[in-house]
Chains A and B, each alone.
Chain A
Protein backbone atom coordinates (compact mmCIF):
# COMPACT_ATOMS: atom_id res chain seq x y z
CA UNK A 1 0.00 0.00 0.00
CA UNK A 2 1.52 3.29 -1.01
CA UNK A 3 1.99 5.71 1.83
CA UNK A 4 0.24 9.02 2.10
CA UNK A 5 1.13 12.18 3.99
CA UNK A 6 -0.06 12.47 7.56
CA UNK A 7 -2.37 15.35 6.70
CA UNK A 8 -4.00 13.41 3.85
CA UNK A 9 -7.73 13.71 3.43
CA UNK A 10 -9.61 10.44 3.30
CA UNK A 11 -13.11 10.53 1.81
CA UNK A 12 -15.37 7.53 2.42
CA UNK A 13 -18.46 7.04 0.27
CA UNK A 14 -21.06 5.11 2.22
CA UNK A 15 -21.64 4.96 5.98
CA UNK A 16 -22.81 1.39 6.41
CA UNK A 17 -21.04 -1.08 8.67
CA UNK A 18 -17.83 -0.87 6.62
CA UNK A 19 -17.63 2.86 5.99
CA UNK A 20 -18.43 3.79 9.58
CA UNK A 21 -15.94 1.27 10.97
CA UNK A 22 -13.22 2.54 8.63
CA UNK A 23 -13.75 6.17 9.63
CA UNK A 24 -13.53 5.54 13.35
CA UNK A 25 -10.78 2.94 13.09
CA UNK A 26 -8.61 5.09 10.84
CA UNK A 27 -8.45 7.70 13.59
CA UNK A 28 -7.98 5.12 16.33
CA UNK A 29 -5.02 3.68 14.43
CA UNK A 30 -3.35 7.07 14.22
CA UNK A 31 -4.36 8.76 10.97
CA UNK A 32 -3.98 12.50 11.60
CA UNK A 33 -5.59 13.96 8.47
CA UNK A 34 -9.17 14.82 7.70
CA UNK A 35 -11.72 11.97 7.53
CA UNK A 36 -14.91 12.69 5.64
CA UNK A 37 -17.68 10.08 5.87
CA UNK A 38 -20.52 10.63 3.41
CA UNK A 39 -23.87 8.88 3.55
CA UNK A 40 -26.60 9.19 0.95
CA UNK A 41 -29.05 8.21 3.67
CA UNK A 42 -30.47 10.66 6.21
CA UNK A 43 -30.25 8.37 9.24
CA UNK A 44 -27.04 8.14 11.27
CA UNK A 45 -25.09 4.93 10.57
CA UNK A 46 -27.21 2.04 11.81
CA UNK A 47 -27.19 -1.73 12.20
CA UNK A 48 -28.54 -3.34 9.06
CA UNK A 49 -29.09 -7.01 10.03
CA UNK A 50 -31.84 -6.34 12.61
CA UNK A 51 -33.96 -4.69 9.89
CA UNK A 52 -35.08 -8.08 8.58
CA UNK A 53 -35.30 -9.56 12.09
CA UNK A 54 -36.24 -7.98 15.42
CA UNK A 55 -36.76 -4.46 14.04
CA UNK A 56 -39.70 -5.65 11.90
CA UNK A 57 -41.62 -6.45 15.08
CA UNK A 58 -41.42 -2.91 16.42
CA UNK A 59 -43.07 0.39 15.54
CA UNK A 60 -42.27 1.97 12.18
CA UNK A 61 -40.96 5.08 13.91
CA UNK A 62 -38.79 3.18 16.39
CA UNK A 63 -35.26 4.57 16.47
CA UNK A 64 -32.91 2.40 14.44
CA UNK A 65 -30.26 0.44 16.29
CA UNK A 66 -27.23 2.69 15.74
CA UNK A 67 -23.74 1.40 15.06
CA UNK A 68 -22.39 4.05 17.43
CA UNK A 69 -23.76 6.98 19.32
CA UNK A 70 -23.51 10.12 17.16
CA UNK A 71 -20.97 11.87 19.45
CA UNK A 72 -18.56 8.99 18.77
CA UNK A 73 -17.89 10.37 15.28
CA UNK A 74 -17.22 13.85 16.57
CA UNK A 75 -15.01 12.44 19.30
CA UNK A 76 -13.03 10.58 16.65
CA UNK A 77 -12.74 13.72 14.55
CA UNK A 78 -14.77 12.21 11.74
CA UNK A 79 -16.82 14.62 9.62
CA UNK A 80 -20.01 12.64 9.13
CA UNK A 81 -22.28 14.16 6.53
CA UNK A 82 -25.72 12.63 6.06
CA UNK A 83 -27.96 12.99 3.03
CA UNK A 84 -25.04 13.65 0.70
CA UNK A 85 -25.06 11.66 -2.53
CA UNK A 86 -21.90 11.39 -4.60
CA UNK A 87 -22.61 11.62 -8.31
CA UNK A 88 -19.18 11.40 -9.93
CA UNK A 89 -15.52 10.76 -9.27
CA UNK A 90 -12.95 12.92 -11.05
CA UNK A 91 -9.87 10.73 -10.77
CA UNK A 92 -7.54 13.19 -12.47
CA UNK A 93 -8.43 16.03 -10.09
CA UNK A 94 -8.99 13.61 -7.19
CA UNK A 95 -12.39 15.05 -6.46
CA UNK A 96 -15.84 13.69 -5.72
CA UNK A 97 -18.85 15.57 -6.99
CA UNK A 98 -22.13 15.53 -5.10
CA UNK A 99 -25.76 15.86 -6.10
CA UNK A 100 -25.78 19.43 -4.81
CA UNK A 101 -22.77 20.39 -6.94
CA UNK A 102 -20.13 20.30 -4.22
CA UNK A 103 -16.64 19.21 -5.15
CA UNK A 104 -14.81 17.38 -2.41
CA UNK A 105 -11.10 16.82 -2.80
CA UNK A 106 -9.51 13.57 -1.62
CA UNK A 107 -6.07 12.08 -1.24
CA UNK A 108 -7.57 8.64 -0.71
CA UNK A 109 -11.09 7.68 -1.69
CA UNK A 110 -12.81 4.60 -0.30
CA UNK A 111 -15.88 3.16 -1.99
CA UNK A 112 -18.10 1.62 0.68
CA UNK A 113 -21.28 2.05 -1.31
CA UNK A 114 -22.85 -1.32 -0.53
CA UNK A 115 -25.54 -2.98 -2.58
CA UNK A 116 -29.10 -2.31 -3.60
CA UNK A 117 -32.00 -4.70 -4.02
CA UNK A 118 -32.07 -6.18 -7.50
CA UNK A 119 -35.04 -4.85 -9.47
CA UNK A 120 -37.93 -7.28 -9.93
CA UNK A 121 -38.24 -7.91 -13.68
CA UNK A 122 -41.82 -9.17 -13.30
CA UNK A 123 -43.17 -5.89 -11.92
CA UNK A 124 -43.95 -3.06 -14.37
CA UNK A 125 -42.39 0.27 -13.49
CA UNK A 126 -45.65 1.94 -12.48
CA UNK A 127 -46.27 -0.75 -9.84
CA UNK A 128 -42.70 -0.89 -8.55
CA UNK A 129 -43.31 1.31 -5.50
CA UNK A 130 -44.38 0.69 -1.91
CA UNK A 131 -47.54 2.69 -2.61
CA UNK A 132 -48.46 0.12 -5.25
CA UNK A 133 -47.57 -2.78 -2.99
CA UNK A 134 -43.98 -3.65 -3.97
CA UNK A 135 -41.37 -3.64 -1.23
CA UNK A 136 -37.70 -4.46 -0.90
CA UNK A 137 -35.63 -4.59 2.28
CA UNK A 138 -32.10 -3.23 2.37
CA UNK A 139 -32.30 0.10 4.21
CA UNK A 140 -33.93 1.68 7.24
CA UNK A 141 -36.28 3.56 4.92
CA UNK A 142 -37.29 0.23 3.35
CA UNK A 143 -38.01 -1.25 6.79
CA UNK A 144 -39.99 1.79 7.87
CA UNK A 145 -42.17 1.48 4.78
CA UNK A 146 -42.62 -2.25 5.21
CA UNK A 147 -43.56 -2.33 8.91
CA UNK A 148 -46.96 -0.59 8.64
CA UNK A 149 -47.71 -2.37 5.37
CA UNK A 150 -47.10 -5.74 7.02
CA UNK A 151 -49.19 -4.73 10.01
CA UNK A 152 -52.13 -4.12 7.68
CA UNK A 153 -51.58 -7.12 5.41
CA UNK A 154 -53.43 -10.41 5.47
CA UNK A 155 -51.69 -12.00 2.51
CA UNK A 156 -48.00 -11.58 1.68
CA UNK A 157 -46.08 -12.86 -1.32
CA UNK A 158 -42.30 -12.98 -1.22
CA UNK A 159 -40.14 -13.40 -4.30
CA UNK A 160 -36.86 -15.12 -3.47
CA UNK A 161 -35.90 -17.85 -1.01
CA UNK A 162 -32.62 -16.34 0.15
CA UNK A 163 -31.71 -15.18 3.64
CA UNK A 164 -33.67 -11.93 3.60
CA UNK A 165 -36.79 -13.42 2.03
CA UNK A 166 -36.81 -16.21 4.58
CA UNK A 167 -36.23 -13.93 7.55
CA UNK A 168 -39.20 -11.82 6.45
CA UNK A 169 -41.29 -14.95 5.85
CA UNK A 170 -40.57 -16.21 9.36
CA UNK A 171 -41.58 -12.88 10.84
CA UNK A 172 -44.76 -12.60 8.75
CA UNK A 173 -45.92 -16.15 9.41
CA UNK A 174 -45.40 -15.65 13.14
CA UNK A 175 -47.51 -12.50 12.89
CA UNK A 176 -50.37 -14.51 11.39
CA UNK A 177 -50.01 -13.24 7.82
CA UNK A 178 -50.78 -15.80 5.10
CA UNK A 179 -47.33 -15.95 3.52
CA UNK A 180 -46.31 -17.48 0.20
CA UNK A 181 -42.64 -17.56 -0.73
CA UNK A 182 -41.74 -18.20 -4.37
CA UNK A 183 -38.25 -19.45 -5.16
CA UNK A 184 -37.11 -19.94 -8.76
CA UNK A 185 -34.49 -22.56 -7.89
CA UNK A 186 -34.93 -26.12 -6.63
CA UNK A 187 -33.95 -25.28 -3.03
CA UNK A 188 -33.80 -22.46 -0.50
CA UNK A 189 -30.67 -20.33 0.03
CA UNK A 190 -28.95 -22.28 -2.74
CA UNK A 191 -26.21 -19.65 -3.05
CA UNK A 192 -25.42 -19.72 0.67
CA UNK A 193 -25.87 -23.20 2.15
CA UNK A 194 -25.56 -26.94 1.54
CA UNK A 195 -28.58 -28.98 0.39
CA UNK A 196 -29.10 -30.53 3.84
CA UNK A 197 -29.44 -27.11 5.44
CA UNK A 198 -31.78 -26.00 2.65
CA UNK A 199 -33.96 -29.05 3.34
CA UNK A 200 -34.02 -28.39 7.08
CA UNK A 201 -35.14 -24.79 6.67
CA UNK A 202 -37.70 -25.74 4.03
CA UNK A 203 -39.34 -28.10 6.52
CA UNK A 204 -39.11 -25.52 9.31
CA UNK A 205 -40.70 -22.73 7.29
CA UNK A 206 -43.45 -24.99 6.01
CA UNK A 207 -44.16 -26.17 9.55
CA UNK A 208 -44.41 -22.52 10.60
CA UNK A 209 -47.10 -22.00 7.99
CA UNK A 210 -45.15 -20.45 5.11
CA UNK A 211 -46.32 -21.77 1.74
CA UNK A 212 -42.98 -22.31 -0.01
CA UNK A 213 -43.02 -22.84 -3.80
CA UNK A 214 -39.78 -24.16 -5.22
CA UNK A 215 -38.89 -24.29 -8.91
CA UNK A 216 -41.53 -21.61 -9.33
CA UNK A 217 -41.08 -18.35 -11.13
CA UNK A 218 -43.20 -15.24 -10.88
CA UNK A 219 -44.01 -14.33 -14.47
CA UNK A 220 -46.12 -11.26 -13.85
CA UNK A 221 -48.22 -9.41 -11.33
CA UNK A 222 -51.94 -8.76 -11.60
CA UNK A 223 -53.29 -5.34 -10.71
CA UNK A 224 -56.44 -3.95 -9.18
CA UNK A 225 -57.06 -0.27 -8.46
CA UNK A 226 -53.50 0.65 -9.37
CA UNK A 227 -52.00 -1.81 -6.90
CA UNK A 228 -50.48 -5.26 -7.03
CA UNK A 229 -53.29 -7.72 -6.28
CA UNK A 230 -51.71 -11.07 -7.13
CA UNK A 231 -48.62 -12.71 -8.55
CA UNK A 232 -48.89 -15.10 -11.49
CA UNK A 233 -46.57 -18.08 -11.63
CA UNK A 234 -45.08 -19.71 -14.71
CA UNK A 235 -47.64 -22.52 -14.63
CA UNK A 236 -50.47 -20.00 -14.73
CA UNK A 237 -51.44 -20.20 -11.07
CA UNK A 238 -52.19 -16.89 -9.42
CA UNK A 239 -51.59 -16.12 -5.75
CA UNK A 240 -53.53 -13.20 -4.34
CA UNK A 241 -51.56 -10.85 -2.11
CA UNK A 242 -51.92 -7.52 -0.35
CA UNK A 243 -48.26 -6.86 -0.82
CA UNK A 244 -45.24 -8.30 -2.56
CA UNK A 245 -41.72 -8.28 -1.16
CA UNK A 246 -39.02 -8.75 -3.75
CA UNK A 247 -35.97 -10.38 -2.18
CA UNK A 248 -34.35 -11.82 -5.27
CA UNK A 249 -30.86 -10.65 -4.48
CA UNK A 250 -28.67 -7.58 -4.34
CA UNK A 251 -26.63 -5.68 -6.87
CA UNK A 252 -23.42 -3.95 -5.83
CA UNK A 253 -23.47 -0.19 -6.22
CA UNK A 254 -20.68 0.14 -8.72
CA UNK A 255 -21.94 2.84 -11.06
CA UNK A 256 -19.67 5.59 -9.69
CA UNK A 257 -16.66 3.33 -10.12
CA UNK A 258 -17.72 2.26 -13.60
CA UNK A 259 -18.31 5.83 -14.73
CA UNK A 260 -14.84 6.68 -13.44
CA UNK A 261 -13.37 3.89 -15.56
CA UNK A 262 -12.51 1.51 -12.73
CA UNK A 263 -12.71 -2.17 -13.61
CA UNK A 264 -15.30 -4.56 -12.26
CA UNK A 265 -14.85 -8.26 -11.66
CA UNK A 266 -16.92 -9.96 -14.32
CA UNK A 267 -17.71 -13.06 -12.31
CA UNK A 268 -18.32 -11.55 -8.87
CA UNK A 269 -19.79 -8.29 -10.12
CA UNK A 270 -18.16 -5.85 -7.69
CA UNK A 271 -15.45 -3.22 -8.06
CA UNK A 272 -12.28 -5.23 -8.65
CA UNK A 273 -9.67 -4.73 -5.92
CA UNK A 274 -6.38 -6.42 -5.05
CA UNK A 275 -5.44 -8.17 -1.83
CA UNK A 276 -4.90 -4.76 -0.20
CA UNK A 277 -8.37 -3.63 -1.32
CA UNK A 278 -6.96 -1.11 -3.82
CA UNK A 279 -8.65 -0.62 -7.15
CA UNK A 280 -6.58 -0.20 -10.29
CA UNK A 281 -6.27 3.46 -9.18
CA UNK A 282 -3.94 3.39 -6.16
CA UNK A 283 -5.75 6.40 -4.66
CA UNK A 284 -9.08 4.56 -4.61
CA UNK A 285 -10.03 1.58 -2.46
CA UNK A 286 -13.26 -0.39 -2.19
CA UNK A 287 -14.64 -2.59 0.58
CA UNK A 288 -17.74 -4.43 1.72
CA UNK A 289 -20.69 -5.46 -0.43
CA UNK A 290 -19.52 -3.42 -3.45
CA UNK A 291 -16.01 -4.89 -3.69
CA UNK A 292 -14.76 -8.04 -5.42
CA UNK A 293 -11.55 -9.13 -3.70
CA UNK A 294 -9.20 -12.12 -3.98
CA UNK A 295 -10.01 -14.42 -1.08
CA UNK A 296 -7.57 -16.97 0.31
CA UNK A 297 -10.68 -18.90 1.42
CA UNK A 298 -11.86 -19.32 -2.18
CA UNK A 299 -10.45 -21.83 -4.67
CA UNK A 300 -7.39 -20.44 -6.50
CA UNK A 301 -7.71 -17.22 -4.49
CA UNK A 302 -10.44 -16.18 -6.89
CA UNK A 303 -12.18 -12.86 -6.45
CA UNK A 304 -15.42 -13.02 -4.49
CA UNK A 305 -17.95 -10.45 -3.36
CA UNK A 306 -19.46 -11.06 0.06
CA UNK A 307 -22.56 -9.43 1.49
CA UNK A 308 -21.97 -9.61 5.21
CA UNK A 309 -21.32 -7.42 8.21
CA UNK A 310 -18.24 -9.44 9.10
CA UNK A 311 -16.65 -8.88 5.71
CA UNK A 312 -17.41 -5.15 5.65
CA UNK A 313 -16.12 -4.61 9.18
CA UNK A 314 -13.00 -6.77 8.84
CA UNK A 315 -12.10 -5.16 5.52
CA UNK A 316 -12.53 -1.75 7.15
CA UNK A 317 -10.18 -2.73 9.98
CA UNK A 318 -7.64 -4.06 7.49
CA UNK A 319 -7.77 -0.95 5.33
CA UNK A 320 -7.61 1.38 8.34
CA UNK A 321 -4.44 -0.37 9.50
CA UNK A 322 -2.93 -0.13 6.04
CA UNK A 323 -3.78 3.52 5.47
CA UNK A 324 -2.71 4.55 8.95
CA UNK A 325 0.68 2.85 8.99
CA UNK A 326 2.30 5.68 7.05
CA UNK A 327 1.99 8.13 9.92
CA UNK A 328 3.24 5.86 12.66
CA UNK A 329 5.81 4.25 10.41
CA UNK A 330 4.74 0.90 11.78
CA UNK A 331 5.26 -2.12 9.58
CA UNK A 332 2.80 -4.42 11.26
CA UNK A 333 -0.11 -4.07 8.84
CA UNK A 334 -0.90 -7.41 7.22
CA UNK A 335 0.07 -7.61 3.56
CA UNK A 336 -3.18 -9.12 2.30
CA UNK A 337 -6.76 -9.21 3.52
CA UNK A 338 -7.32 -12.73 4.78
CA UNK A 339 -10.05 -12.63 7.45
CA UNK A 340 -12.14 -15.77 7.71
CA UNK A 341 -15.63 -15.11 6.30
CA UNK A 342 -18.58 -15.82 8.58
CA UNK A 343 -22.31 -15.23 8.39
CA UNK A 344 -25.41 -15.72 10.44
CA UNK A 345 -29.15 -15.70 9.98
CA UNK A 346 -32.01 -15.91 12.48
CA UNK A 347 -35.12 -17.47 10.99
CA UNK A 348 -37.93 -17.82 13.45
CA UNK A 349 -36.41 -19.56 16.46
CA UNK A 350 -33.62 -21.15 14.43
CA UNK A 351 -30.09 -19.83 14.29
CA UNK A 352 -27.89 -20.52 11.28
CA UNK A 353 -24.20 -19.68 11.51
CA UNK A 354 -21.67 -20.27 8.75
CA UNK A 355 -17.89 -20.09 8.93
CA UNK A 356 -15.74 -20.27 5.81
CA UNK A 357 -16.70 -20.41 2.14
CA UNK A 358 -18.28 -23.42 0.45
CA UNK A 359 -17.13 -22.58 -3.11
CA UNK A 360 -14.54 -25.39 -3.17
CA UNK A 361 -16.42 -27.91 -1.03
CA UNK A 362 -16.66 -31.36 -2.63
CA UNK A 363 -17.91 -33.33 0.40
CA UNK A 364 -20.29 -32.55 3.26
CA UNK A 365 -20.18 -34.49 6.52
CA UNK A 366 -23.17 -34.26 8.84
CA UNK A 367 -22.66 -33.86 12.58
CA UNK A 368 -25.76 -34.46 14.69
CA UNK A 369 -29.25 -35.27 13.50
CA UNK A 370 -31.24 -32.65 11.57
CA UNK A 371 -34.35 -34.25 13.07
CA UNK A 372 -33.20 -33.02 16.48
CA UNK A 373 -33.14 -29.43 15.24
CA UNK A 374 -29.45 -29.12 16.15
CA UNK A 375 -26.85 -30.20 13.65
CA UNK A 376 -23.86 -29.02 11.67
CA UNK A 377 -22.52 -29.68 8.21
CA UNK A 378 -18.77 -29.82 7.78
CA UNK A 379 -17.67 -29.01 4.24
CA UNK A 380 -14.37 -30.39 3.00
CA UNK A 381 -12.35 -29.41 -0.06
CA UNK A 382 -10.27 -32.51 -0.59
CA UNK A 383 -8.94 -33.33 2.86
CA UNK A 384 -9.17 -29.78 4.19
CA UNK A 385 -12.00 -28.32 6.20
CA UNK A 386 -13.35 -25.35 4.20
CA UNK A 387 -16.74 -24.47 5.64
CA UNK A 388 -18.98 -25.26 8.60
CA UNK A 389 -22.71 -24.61 8.70
CA UNK A 390 -24.10 -24.78 12.23
CA UNK A 391 -27.83 -24.96 12.85
CA UNK A 392 -28.63 -24.17 16.49
CA UNK A 393 -25.13 -25.32 17.41
CA UNK A 394 -23.22 -22.10 18.15
CA UNK A 395 -20.41 -24.01 19.86
CA UNK A 396 -19.64 -25.78 16.59
CA UNK A 397 -19.63 -22.43 14.86
CA UNK A 398 -17.17 -20.90 17.31
CA UNK A 399 -14.97 -23.99 17.22
CA UNK A 400 -15.08 -24.00 13.41
CA UNK A 401 -13.87 -20.42 13.29
CA UNK A 402 -10.88 -21.38 15.40
CA UNK A 403 -10.12 -24.48 13.34
CA UNK A 404 -10.45 -22.73 10.00
CA UNK A 405 -8.40 -19.73 11.06
CA UNK A 406 -5.65 -22.09 12.21
CA UNK A 407 -5.86 -24.18 9.02
CA UNK A 408 -6.66 -27.29 11.03
CA UNK A 409 -9.13 -30.09 10.56
CA UNK A 410 -11.36 -31.50 13.28
CA UNK A 411 -10.19 -34.56 15.21
CA UNK A 412 -11.53 -37.90 14.00
CA UNK A 413 -13.32 -38.40 17.31
CA UNK A 414 -15.37 -35.27 16.69
CA UNK A 415 -16.38 -36.47 13.25
CA UNK A 416 -17.68 -39.70 14.76
CA UNK A 417 -19.40 -38.21 17.80
CA UNK A 418 -21.31 -34.91 17.75
CA UNK A 419 -20.84 -34.56 21.51
CA UNK A 420 -17.06 -34.30 21.11
CA UNK A 421 -15.92 -30.70 20.60
CA UNK A 422 -14.63 -29.78 17.13
CA UNK A 423 -11.82 -27.79 18.68
CA UNK A 424 -10.27 -27.88 22.10
Chain B
Protein backbone atom coordinates (compact mmCIF):
# COMPACT_ATOMS: atom_id res chain seq x y z
CA UNK B 1 0.00 0.00 0.00
CA UNK B 2 1.33 3.44 -0.87
CA UNK B 3 2.36 6.12 1.55
CA UNK B 4 0.71 9.50 0.96
CA UNK B 5 2.17 12.81 1.99
CA UNK B 6 -0.18 15.67 2.82
CA UNK B 7 1.18 19.19 3.13
CA UNK B 8 -0.98 21.63 5.08
CA UNK B 9 -1.18 25.32 4.10
CA UNK B 10 1.29 26.12 6.92
CA UNK B 11 3.81 23.68 5.45
CA UNK B 12 3.28 20.84 7.94
CA UNK B 13 3.93 17.47 6.30
CA UNK B 14 1.98 14.41 7.39
CA UNK B 15 2.75 10.97 6.04
CA UNK B 16 -0.09 8.50 6.10
CA UNK B 17 -0.29 4.83 5.33
CA UNK B 18 -3.13 4.30 2.85
CA UNK B 19 -3.71 0.74 4.01
CA UNK B 20 -7.36 -0.26 3.74
CA UNK B 21 -8.53 2.95 2.09
CA UNK B 22 -10.21 2.89 -1.31
CA UNK B 23 -9.41 6.49 -2.17
CA UNK B 24 -6.99 9.24 -1.22
CA UNK B 25 -9.89 10.97 0.54
CA UNK B 26 -10.61 7.89 2.67
CA UNK B 27 -6.94 7.58 3.58
CA UNK B 28 -6.93 11.23 4.67
CA UNK B 29 -10.12 10.97 6.74
CA UNK B 30 -9.16 7.72 8.43
CA UNK B 31 -5.79 9.21 9.36
CA UNK B 32 -7.28 12.40 10.73
CA UNK B 33 -6.00 14.83 8.09
CA UNK B 34 -7.84 18.01 9.10
CA UNK B 35 -7.91 19.75 5.76
CA UNK B 36 -10.17 17.19 4.07
CA UNK B 37 -13.89 17.56 4.84
CA UNK B 38 -15.51 15.13 2.37
CA UNK B 39 -19.02 16.14 3.30
CA UNK B 40 -20.70 13.84 0.74
CA UNK B 41 -18.70 10.81 1.84
CA UNK B 42 -16.90 10.33 -1.43
CA UNK B 43 -19.66 10.40 -4.01
CA UNK B 44 -18.22 13.26 -6.06
CA UNK B 45 -21.01 15.63 -5.06
CA UNK B 46 -19.67 18.33 -2.74
CA UNK B 47 -16.10 19.38 -3.71
CA UNK B 48 -14.89 19.50 -0.09
CA UNK B 49 -12.00 17.04 -0.49
CA UNK B 50 -10.03 19.31 -2.85
CA UNK B 51 -6.27 18.79 -3.09
CA UNK B 52 -3.49 20.23 -5.21
CA UNK B 53 -1.47 17.30 -6.49
CA UNK B 54 2.27 17.85 -6.59
CA UNK B 55 3.29 18.62 -10.19
CA UNK B 56 5.71 15.70 -10.25
CA UNK B 57 2.87 13.28 -9.64
CA UNK B 58 -0.09 14.86 -11.42
CA UNK B 59 0.61 13.32 -14.81
CA UNK B 60 0.96 9.87 -13.28
CA UNK B 61 -2.66 9.82 -12.15
CA UNK B 62 -5.57 8.85 -14.41
CA UNK B 63 -7.33 11.89 -15.87
CA UNK B 64 -10.20 13.61 -14.09
CA UNK B 65 -13.74 12.59 -14.88
CA UNK B 66 -16.18 15.10 -16.34
CA UNK B 67 -18.24 15.41 -13.13
CA UNK B 68 -15.10 15.95 -11.08
CA UNK B 69 -13.86 18.57 -13.51
CA UNK B 70 -17.13 20.51 -13.22
CA UNK B 71 -17.18 20.35 -9.43
CA UNK B 72 -13.62 21.67 -9.29
CA UNK B 73 -14.96 24.90 -10.77
CA UNK B 74 -16.80 25.47 -7.51
CA UNK B 75 -14.23 24.70 -4.83
CA UNK B 76 -13.87 27.06 -1.86
CA UNK B 77 -10.25 27.78 -2.86
CA UNK B 78 -9.69 28.42 -6.53
CA UNK B 79 -8.64 25.43 -8.57
CA UNK B 80 -5.14 25.16 -9.97
CA UNK B 81 -3.77 23.18 -12.89
CA UNK B 82 -3.19 20.12 -10.69
CA UNK B 83 -6.40 20.30 -8.63
CA UNK B 84 -8.23 17.05 -7.94
CA UNK B 85 -11.05 15.84 -5.72
CA UNK B 86 -9.29 13.32 -3.53
CA UNK B 87 -12.33 11.03 -3.37
CA UNK B 88 -11.85 10.45 -7.09
CA UNK B 89 -8.23 9.27 -6.80
CA UNK B 90 -8.31 5.53 -6.23
CA UNK B 91 -5.58 4.22 -3.94
CA UNK B 92 -4.78 1.61 -6.55
CA UNK B 93 -3.84 4.46 -8.89
CA UNK B 94 -1.82 6.40 -6.31
CA UNK B 95 1.97 6.21 -6.70
CA UNK B 96 3.94 5.57 -3.52
CA UNK B 97 5.00 8.84 -1.95
CA UNK B 98 2.24 10.82 -3.67
CA UNK B 99 2.44 14.44 -2.45
CA UNK B 100 -0.81 16.37 -1.99
CA UNK B 101 -1.13 19.98 -0.88
CA UNK B 102 -4.20 21.00 1.08
CA UNK B 103 -6.12 24.19 0.33
CA UNK B 104 -6.72 26.89 2.96
CA UNK B 105 -10.41 26.01 3.13
CA UNK B 106 -12.88 23.43 1.87
CA UNK B 107 -16.18 25.15 2.69
Q: Which residues of A contact B (CB under 8 A)?
A: 47-50, 53-54, 63, 65-69, 71-72, 75, 309-310, 313, 344, 346, 351, 353, 392-395, 397-399, 401-402
Contact = CB atoms under 8 A, between A and B. Distances in A.
Interface stretch (B3-11, B40-48, B51-59, B89-97): B40-48
Given A344-B46, A395-B70, A71 B41 contact: no
Contacts of B70: 393-395, 398
B40 A49 contact: yes
A398 B73 contact: yes
Given A50-B41, A69-B32, 15 more contacts: A49-B40, A63-B20, A65-B41, A66-B30, A68-B29, A309-B40, A310-B46, A344-B43, A344-B46, A346-B45, A394-B74, A398-B47, A398-B70, A398-B73, A402-B74
Given A393-B70, A398-B74, A310 B39 contact: yes
Nearest to A75: B32
Contacts of B39: 309-310, 313
Interface of B: 20, 26, 29-32, 39-47, 67, 70-71, 73-74
Contact of A65 (B32, B42, B73): B42
Contacts, number: 67
A392 B66 CA distance: 10
Contact of B29 (A50, A69, A346, A402): A69
Contacts of A395: 70-71, 73-74
Contacts of B71: 394-395, 398
B43 A53 contact: yes
A67 B25 CA distance: 11
A97 to B, nearest CB: 33
A353 B74 contact: no
Contact of A353 (B30, B31, B41, B45): B45
A68 B39 CA distance: 12
Contacts of B29: 66-69
A402 B45 CA distance: 15
B52 to A, nearest CB: 18
Contacts of B73: 395, 398-399
Nearest to B75: A398
Contacts of A47: 41-42
Contact of B32 (A53, A72, A310): A72
A205 to B, nearest CB: 19
Given A66-B29, A75-B32, A351-B67, A401 B41 contact: no
A65 B73 CA distance: 27
B76 to A, nearest CB: 10
Contacts of A397: 74
A343 B44 CA distance: 12
Contact of B43 (A50, A75, A393, A402): A50
Contacts of B74: 394-395, 397-399, 401-402
Contacts of B46: 310, 344
Contacts of A399: 73-74
Contacts of B41: 47-50, 65, 309
